[in-house]
Amino acid sequence: MIREEFLRLAAAGYNRIPVAYETIADFDTPLSIYLKLADEANTYLLESVQGGEKWGRYSIIGLPARTVLRAYEHTVIVSIDGVETERHECEDPLAFVESFKERYKVPTLPGLPRFNGGLVGYFGYDSVRYVEKRLAVCPNPDPLGNPDILLMVSDAVVVFDNLAGKMHAIVLADPAHADGYEQAQAHLQEILQKLRQPITPRLGVDLNAPVGAEPAFRSSFSQEDYERAVDTIKEYILAGDCMQVVPSQRMSIDFKAAPIDLYRALRCINPTPYMYFFNFGDFHVVGSSPEVLVRVEDNLITVRPIAGTRPRGANEEADLALEEDLLSDAKEIAEHLMLIDLGRNDVGRVSATGSVKLTEKMVIERYSNVMHIVSNVTGQLKPGLTAMDALRAILPAGTLSGAPKIRAMEIIDQLEPVKRGVYGGAVGYMAWNGNMDTAIAIRTAVIKNGELHVQAGGGIVADSVPALEWEETLNKRRAMFRAVALAEQSTH
C-alpha cells in the first residue's frame, strides 16, 4: 500500500488501516515465527489440521497485543499496556464486546488473507449466563479465578501460508497519528528484522520414549461422586426432565515444563482442526480441539456436531471394522441424531427462513488417536444480525451441555463442584470484517501457578453405565497427559 491509498482510506472514515508486507518464508515454520516474534504475554498461535490428516492452509501468529478486554461476571475491564483504562458494570458483557468491536473501522482490502486482525481469545462456558436468565448466577466456586471472557485486540499479525511457503505480516495503522503510515512501515521492518534472527534451539522431544505411569491427578470429583452424578442424571431422564446431560470432571496435576513445549508435543501427537496456544501472561491456554463451535464466513453459519467415538485401529482393515461398529451402535447413533436436531435448532434461531441445511450426515472423521461421527449444519445469517448473535444462539454446544439445553445446564450447575471457566466455551476470533471462527474448548489445558488443569466429560443418556462414563472422561484426557509427559522431557 502506498501512502496516497492510505490517506484515501483515512479520508473515507476508516480509523484502522491494514498495512502489509508479503515475503517468502519457506525456511520458517509457524512455530519458529511465533518464537521469534511473539513469545511473550498477550500473544497466540492458531493452527489447523483438517480431518486429522491434512494441514490447514493458514496459520496465524498474534504479536503482543497492547489492548486487552476482560470480563469477570458483569465487570468488564479494558487495559492498554497493562494499565486499566476502562471499567464498566454491564448487565450484558456480550453487548459491550460487540460495541467495543464496532469502535474499529477497518477496510477489507484485496490480496490479504481472510483473517488480518480482530478480537482473539475466548468466551468461557459461563458466558451463557449473560443470555439465559435462568442460569444468571453460577452457584459453584471458581478456584482458578480466570476471566469469563478474555479478548485481545489483535492489531499486528503474521499469517503463514503453509501451502505456498510465504507469509503476510499485517499491522493496523492508526491514521489519527500524522505519521501513522510511517509507524506501521517501521513496525513491519522491525518484524522482518526479527525474522532474520536465529531462535534459541529448544531441547528435543523423544516421541518414542516410554510412556511410563500417568501422573496422579487431583479431580474435582471422586469416582464415587461422579458415578453418583451419572445415576442422578439417569433419574432425571427417566422422569422425563431431560433427554441427555453432559457432566464433566476437572483433573489437575503439577506442571513444570514450558507451556510452548506442551503445545509442540500436542500438535505432534494429536493434530486437530483447531490447535491453539495462548499466552495471557498470568496463565496459558493450550488446546487441540476437534470441534467447531460456530463459524460465520460471509454470513454463512456453520456448526459441526461431533458425537460418537472409537479408537483408531492398528491398520486400515481395523479402522474400517471400527467404523462399521461405530455406525451400527444404536446408542451412539441416537445421541448423534439428538445433537443434529439441537444444532439445527440453534442455527435456525439466527438463520433466514428455509436456509438451514444438513450438508453432511454422520460421516466418519479420523484423527490421530480416535475417530468420530460428524455432521455439518449450515444456515444463512438473518439480515441485520451479526456473528455475535450466532454465538449467543449456539454457546455452549449441545455436545457440552445436553438436551434440552437450558435444563441440562441447570442440572450441570447442580451436580458439578466447580465453575467450568474456559472449558466448554468458545476459543477463536471475531474478525474485523464480521467473520468469526471458534472452536469448542475441549482437549484443552489451562496452565496457571505451576498447575495444569484439563477437563473432560461425556453425554449421559438413559442406558449409560456409570463406571464406563467415568472411564470415558479418563480416555479423553489421555492425549493431553501424554503430551505433558513429552513436554516435561524437554526440561531434563
Tell me if residue 423 is catalytic: yes
Tell me if residue 366 is catalytic: no
Mutual orientation of helices 93-101 and 387-394 as an angle, nearest 10°? Answer: 160
Q: Are 251 and 223 in contact (CB under 8 A)?
A: no
Residue in 62, 398, 424, 459 annotated catalytic = 459
Amino acid at site 447: I
Q: Are 419 and 378 in contact (CB under 8 A)?
A: no
Please count the CA atoms within 13 angstroms of the CA of 341 that sit on its side-chain side: 12
Helix (H, G, I), strand (E, B) or coil at 236: helix
Residue in 284, 372, 420, 453 annotated catalytic = 372
Calculate Rg over the CA atoms of the chain.
Answer: 22
- Contact partners, residue 231, CB within 8 Å, separation at least 6: 466
Burial 55-94 (b: 16+ CB within 10 A, else e): ebebbbbbbbbebbbbbebbebebbeeeeeeeeeebeebb
Tell me if residue 114 is catalytic: no
Integer Cα distance of 189 and 211 in angstroms:
45
Tell me if residue 459 is catalytic: yes
Q: Are 148 and 71 in contact (CB under 8 A)?
A: yes
**Cell of residue 421, nine digits:** 471457566
Residue with cell 464406563: 468
Residue in 309, 399, 438, 444 annotated catalytic = 399
Amino acid at site 21: Y
Q: Where are the beta strands (DSSP E) in 162-297?
A: 166-173, 218-219, 244-245, 248-254, 274-279, 284-289, 292-297
How many whole angstroms from its chain centre is CA 10?
34
Integer Cα distance of 398 and 405 in angstroms:
7
Residue in 379, 423, 453, 473 annotated catalytic = 423
Tell me if residue 281 is catalytic: no
End-to-end CA distance of the chain: 48
Integer Cα distance of 339 and 267 in angstroms:
28
Residue in 187, 284, 295, 443 annotated catalytic = 443
DSSP state of 401: T
**Cell of residue 449, nine digits:** 501457578
The two beta strands, 49-50 and 284-289, are: unpaired
Q: Are 121 and 41 in contact (CB under 8 A)?
A: no
Q: Are 20 and 112 in contact (CB under 8 A)?
A: yes
Integer Cα distance of 420 and 417 in angstroms:
9
What positions carry a catalytic annotation?
Answer: 372, 399, 423, 443, 459
